[in-house]
Amino acid sequence: MQEAAPELSRRTVVVMTAGGLNPTIVVQHLAKSGLDVHIVLENPEGKGEITRRRARKLGWVEALGQLGTMIAARLLRGLADRRVAELLSRHDLDRILPETVPIHPVTSINDAETQDVIGQIRPGAILLVSTRLMSARQLAAMPCPVINLHAGINPNYRGQMGGYWSLRENDAQNFGATLHLVDAGTDTGGTLYEVRTRPEPSDFISTYPLLLTISALEITRRSVEDALDGHLSPKIPQGPSALRFPPTFWSWLWCGVTRRIW
């Protein structure tokens, strides 16, 4: 007689991430909410790999211009430290993962080893925060709902730097974040919750993602608990759909100088 597969744990959530401050504060919040949180920590994609993929899609000029902005944003993180410290202090957050949260290193969330880890944990929900895209094959192998925390309002600000693009397109009322189910597309799954906020004058391209992540902590918890309780109610996102990439360096610089949108 074939042994039955173990049941999914209805209070266990796996956070898949490539690491960083934003997923750290999400894990803190979920753990403080009483959830049994595990981290599947993948190796981040290299900038060379990302740039080559974008070049195949957009051309080398555009891809190298976007690489320039990514490098600039990283170099400017030092200037963002004061604002980051202010946001963390205001919301009683810190930069350290809870010691009680197990970490499971993998090469990529799309590798077979990740399936093995998920098979051992048997979570009731999976949350993606700052990872590469999950492949359709891997998604089909997951035993529970897979949710993504996206720093943008779908469908018009899918992809990357949604907060920045909303400001640049004179759409500040849609500076926000979305929790959505993951499907085979890029941020195209059903919307679970949205939140909107306003950046302060001290915010810029290096602080927008943190601001949006903090603003989305409660709807992230709610989305995970809905998944654990079997109460997900996804809605088809309405409006124009656009896949966003980082602006080219020269475009970002021009917009910053002429419109003060950095």
Q: Per-residue confidence of the chain (262 residues) as pLDDT tens digits? A: 444 445 555 689 999 999 999 999 999 999 999 999 999 999 998 888 888 889 888 999 999 999 999 888 888 888 889 999 999 999 999 899 988 999 999 999 999 999 999 999 999 999 999 999 999 999 999 999 999 999 999 999 999 999 999 999 999 999 999 999 999 999 999 999 999 999 999 999 999 999 999 999 999 999 999 999 999 999 999 899 999 999 999 999 999 999 999 9
* Geometric angle at alpha carbon 191, from 188 and 195, rounded to 5°: 120
> In the chain, what are the domain boundaries?
9-259
- Please state, in angstroms and rounded to a whole number, the distance separating the CA atoms of residues 189 and 158: 11
- Please state, in angstroms and rounded to a whole number, the distance separating the CA atoms of residues 83 and 39: 27
- Fold of the 9-259 domain: Rossmann fold (3.40.50)
Q: Which of 26, 28, 33 is nearest to 11 (CA)?
A: 33
Element (H, E) at 105: strand 103-106
If you compute the radius of gyration of the chain from its CA atoms, what whole number of angstroms results? Answer: 18
Query: Global pTM?
Result: 0.90
